[in-house]
């Protein structure tokens, strides 16, 4: 596996969606190639940042009450 | 005619399996409609449709995916028509900008991300083309698997992969550009 192929599959790898063979090839490449390793670390930080920023918001209380009222007449 | 007991059971299973996903439905609705009032209505309508069709849902399977499919259909059929039109964007012409190449010497750990607040991230997500936005939201906001996303969006898993890759790269480039414009990091804006 070369750097370009490795980087093409970086999100599959970080999302744990890679096949076992692909995962093995990527791990092997990362061990041999520190620059790709750094890039993967950076992308992992980015995904963690996205999750942290986007998952906090929930439905407003008023909407919850409205849904219950419509469904069950409460 | 359903007996009172059956009504109770239906309600109980709906509360347990469907209503627990209200927050997730609202987050997705908000990103699709870009508007709190429309998001409220879309979620409300989704829950009503889901409750009516509850007998068709196989209990104990993937309620979140089932609900999001209903929500997306309702959005396409009713809201998108009158609120926003799907952009005619040629997704293939959107070239991701290589952020890592820019920052690897000064900030390889992406410390600039820490300075970007929730609202700014959501604002940039809302500016993505719809096909990118919905894929990214289902993955990064809701944590769905590629398979689940493919099912909800009715596209092949390979398309999920490529859209997610480009959506994340485009978003990353725009957040980097924002960070540069705010002086959070030195560099050339994308």
CB nearest A50 (choices: B36, B117, B121): B121
- Asked if pLDDT for residue A24 goes beyond 80, the answer is yes
Q: What is the ipTM of this complex?
A: 0.91
Per-residue pLDDT tens over the stretch B65-102? 999 999 999 999 887 766 555 566 666 666 667 889 88
Total count of residues recorded for chain B: 190
Q: Specify the pLDDT at position A55.
A: 85
Q: How far is CA B117 from CA A52, A55, B26, B187, in A?
A: 10, 13, 20, 20
Question: How far B125 CA sits from the closest chain A CA (Å)?
Answer: 10
Confidence tier at B13 by pLDDT (50, 70, 90)? very high
Give the integer Cα–Cα distance in Å for B83 and B85. 7
Q: Specify the pLDDT at position B78.
A: 82
Give the integer Cα–Cα distance in Å for B3 and B12. 14
Cross-chain Cβ contact B104/A38 below 8 Å: yes
Give the integer Cα–Cα distance in Å for B158 and B180. 33
Q: Which of residues 33-62 of A touch B (CB under 8 A)?
A: 35, 38-39, 41-43, 45-47, 49-51, 53-60
| Rounded to 5°, angle at Cα B62 from A9 and A49 | 45
> Rounded mean pLDDT of A31-52?
94
Q: In this complex, how many residue pairs, one in chain A and one in chain B, have their CB atoms less than 8 Å apart?
A: 103
Model's pTM, two decimal places? 0.89
Confidence tier at A57 by pLDDT (50, 70, 90)? confident
CA B45 to mean position of chain CA atoms? 18
Nearest residue to B106 (alpha-carbon basis) of B169, B176, B168, B170: B176
- Asked if pLDDT for residue B2 goes beyond 80, the answer is no
Per-residue pLDDT tens over the stretch B115-165? 999 889 999 999 999 999 999 999 999 999 999 999 999 999 999 999 999
Confidence tier at B187 by pLDDT (50, 70, 90)? confident
Yes or no: say if B6 and B46 are a contact pair by the CB < 8 Å rule. Answer: no
Q: Which two tokens stand for residue A38?
A: 């750094």
Alpha helices in B34-156 (DSSP H): 36-52, 63-74, 80-82, 99-103, 118-126, 130-136, 146-153
Q: Which of residues 1-30 of A touch B (CB under 8 A)?
A: 8, 11-12, 15, 17
């Amino acid at each position: 596996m070369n750097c370009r192929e490795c980087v093409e599959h970086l999100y599959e790898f970080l999302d744990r969606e890679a096949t076992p063979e692909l995962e093995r090839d990527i791990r092997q490449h990362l061990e041999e190639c520190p620059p790709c390793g750094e890039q993967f670390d950076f992308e992992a930080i980015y995904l963690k940042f996205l999750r942290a920023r986007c998952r906090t918001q929930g439905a407003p209380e008023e909407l919850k009450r409205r849904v219950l009222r419509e469904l069950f007449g409460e | 005619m359903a007996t009172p007991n059956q009504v109770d059971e239906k309600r109980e299973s709906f509360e347990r399996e469907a209503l627990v996903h209200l927050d997730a439905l609202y987050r997705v609705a908000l990103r699709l409609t870009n508007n709190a009032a429309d998001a409220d209505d879309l979620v409300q309508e989704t829950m009503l449709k889901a409750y009516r069709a509850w007998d068709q849902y196989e209990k104990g399977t993937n309620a979140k995916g089932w609900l999001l499919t209903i929500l997306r259909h309702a959005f396409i059929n009713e809201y998108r028509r009158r609120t926003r039109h799907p952009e005619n964007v040629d997704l293939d012409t959107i070239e991701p900008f290589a952020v890592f190449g820019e920052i690897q010497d000064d900030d390889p750990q992406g410390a600039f991300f820490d300075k970007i607040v929730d609202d700014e991230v959501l604002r940039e997500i809302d500016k993505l083309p719809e096909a990118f936005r919905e894929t990214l939201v289902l993955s990064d906001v809701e944590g769905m698997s590629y398979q689940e996303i493919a099912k909800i969006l009715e596209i092949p898993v390979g398309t999920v992969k490529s859209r997610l890759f480009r959506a994340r790269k485009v978003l990353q480039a725009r957040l980097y550009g924002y960070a540069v414009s705010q002086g959070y990091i030195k560099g050339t804006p994308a």
